[in-house]
Amino acid sequence: MSAPAAGLSPRDSLRVASAGLRARPMRAALSALGIAIGTAAIVAILGLSSSSQAGLLAEIDRLGTNLLTVEAGQSITGQEAKLPVEAPGRITLLDDVRQLADTGLIKDQSVYRSSLIPAANSGGLQVRATALNLLSVLNTDVARGSWLNAGTAREPVVVLGAVAAQRLGIDRVHADQRIWLGHQWFNVAGILEPSPLASDIDVSALVGYPAAQRYLGYLSLVRGEQRAGPPSTIYVRAATGHEAAVQALLAPTANPQAADEVNVSQPSDVLTARAAAAGAFDSLFLGLGVVALIVGAVGVANIMIISVLERRSEIGLRRALGATKGQIRTQFLAESILLAVIGGVVGVLAGAAATVVYASSKNWAVVIPAEAWVGGIASAILIGAFAGLMPAIRASRMSPTVALRTT
Amino acid sequence: MSATVLQLDAVTKVYGEQPPVAALRGVSFSVQRGELVAIVGPSGSGKSTLLHIMGTLERPTSGVVRIGGVDAAQLEDREVSRLRAHQIGFVFQQFFLAEHATVRENVADGLLYAGVPAAERHARADEALQRVGLTDRASFKPTKISGGQRQRVAIARALVGRPAIVLADEPTGNLDSSTGLAIMELLHELNAAGATILVITHDAALAERIPRQIRMLDGQVISDVGAAA
């Protein structure tokens, strides 16, 4: 007479587990919300840090990692050293150097919006003489106006770095756009895009070497002759794969007499380090996400305890219909897990949406690490199981006669 | 053809420890297949405890309860649950219907824990609804039908698994008298069609209409009138 032990089909299990949620959808939604907020925060933080890292890495890729910078350092006595005027010419002769451009920092000059600005208000901006091929070496471009040419390089004409233009309050380029530099007016020919690999250029007003010599007195004597210069920074593009070899030779080549007075660096290293830092998520916000998850878990546990108390008659009825203790326990445990997973899925979607919106606004590639969404769903399952275990056991141990006696 | 579907032998039930309260003191009777039996007594007479013990929802302190020849006291939770799923149908005073599910789903849930596939559950639910005269309400929610109809749904749910015995606990307790009478009529009809039904009630007048009446007082059977031969 006894039929085989009756287990519920997966579909029936799901229907039974969702019965309580369908009966009170508002309550279910609110208690899932806590889990959703926590999961969304965690997914968004992991997604945003990965996306910003991907964005920086893409930027580094675009800029190229083969740029090396040669700068004048300090002498043994602590004074500021200079690069020899011949340094760029010598470096050009090295094997595996593909391109080279130099700028010279004109230390005693500042740039102002007009002649009325007090001399002390230099805004931290620099004046640099520049080689005309600077932009192709830095892989950057003018945002507005035009770059210097052989003609304008001899005239009082200036091109502003991105930050310099902003600080001077110049956002457009027109024929009468002038700035005050070295006790005279210079016409503004153009404004540069930001150059992440050469942040000095961003804060500089750039003039041609001939103009620097003629109007700003930036010159040095080479074998008794006046020459524009000396350069203070040399930007070198090495052949890809030979950066280290070129880097090792740059200092002695630039200044054979005092190689230790030359600083050589690879600016993309800084960006790479910054990308690594961007990939390291913000642990404070991650902590807040975890706190939200815990609060959500407490909410789910609370709702499940109330639910078990409220649904005593349902528990009694199910027992009368032949449900085993295990089936009652499974029902409430599954309901709790289902509730938490709904919250987790909503949270993952919301966190992913936030990442997509923010990353697209920054033109980053959207990267949502697998551990973020897998971890989000997995922690929701764990939270649901943990929060529902005690109420489920309590429901299964409830005597059916006690359960039926209520109402 | 009279087979014993339910047999109680010297069943006692004692609640609590200090002082112990004896709810049942040596109850013995048996119910044959096809009987319609009323267990009648005032509140506190032990009839609710008796219902729970007959329904295997509670174990007796001593004595034997046999359902379809099986001693329920000897069974594990799983086995006793299976026994309830297959052999016993319950009808409660408060109906206990799921409000968010349809009438058909409520009836079909009577087979949920008996291992019957969903399609067959629904087919048999329709059949059971036909027997209680509610075919046209199958897709209604319980909140949209009358109290009498709700109790019919609950009766259909108890019958859908074709159990050996249906235990009805004050089935008319929440209904007005004319609706209650209609429910009693339905139980008579279902009994005539072969169902074994045991009705628990405090209502002596209602019990009068039932062929066999077992009267209880203070946890004991004081009379058993009209037992099948």
Question: A314-339 pLDDT, tens per residue?
Answer: 999 999 999 999 999 999 999 999 99
The pLDDT of residue A3 is: 41
Report the residue from B58, B86, B87 with minimal CB separation from A401: B58
Cβ–Cβ under 8 Å, residues A403 and B55 = no
Read off the pLDDT of residues B165-224 as tens digits, 9 standing for 90 and up.
999 999 998 899 899 999 999 999 999 999 999 999 999 988 998 999 999 999 999 999
β-sheet bridge partners, residue A225: A222
The pLDDT of residue A171 is: 86
Specify the 3-state DSSP secondary structure of B42: coil
- From residue B27, alpha-carbon distances to B7, B9, B22, B43 in Å are 10, 6, 12, 17
CA proximity to A380, closest of A338, A351, A349: A338
CA proximity to A109, closest of A163, A166, A183: A183
Q: pTM (2 decimals)?
A: 0.75
The pLDDT of residue A5 is: 46
Specify the 3-state DSSP secondary structure of A61: helix
Q: Which residues of B touch A3 (CB under 8 A)?
A: 82, 86, 114-115
**Phi, then psi, of B216 in degrees rounded to 5:** -125, 150
The pLDDT of residue A2 is: 40
Residue A335, chain B, CB below 8 Å: the answer is: no
Does the distance separating the beta carbons of A11 and B68 come in below 8 Å? no
Half-sphere exposure of A280 (CA within 13 A, CB side): 7
Cα(A221)–Cα(A305) distance, integer angstroms: 89
β-sheet bridge partners, residue A180: A112, A185
Regions in chain A scoring below 50 on pLDDT: 1-5, 407
Cβ–Cβ under 8 Å, residues A92 and A263 = no
- Could you identify the residue written with the tokens 């009478």? B181
Does the distance separating the beta carbons of B118 and A12 come in below 8 Å? yes
> Average per-residue pLDDT in chain B?
92
Quote the minimal CA–CA distance from A50 to chain B in Å: 45
Specify the 3-state DSSP secondary structure of A348: helix
Indicate which of A321, A393, A402 best probes the interface with B, i.e. most B CBs within 10 Å of its own CB.
A321
Does the distance separating the beta carbons of A326 and B84 come in below 8 Å? no
Residue B117, chain A, CB below 8 Å: the answer is: yes
3-state SS track over A147-180: CCCCCHHHCCEEEECHHHHHHHCCCCCCCCCEEE
Cα(A318)–Cα(A240) distance, integer angstroms: 73
Read off the pLDDT of residues B127-164 as tens digits, 9 standing for 90 and up.
999 999 999 999 999 999 999 999 999 999 999 999 99
Quote the minimal CA–CA distance from B91 to chain A in Å: 10
Report the residue from A9, A313, A324 with minimal CB separation from B77: A324
**Better-predicted residue by pLDDT, A288 or B97:** B97
Residue A327, chain B, CB below 8 Å: the answer is: yes
* pLDDT higher than 60, residue B1: no
Cα(B97)–Cα(B106) distance, integer angstroms: 6
CA proximity to A395, closest of A334, A273, A311: A311
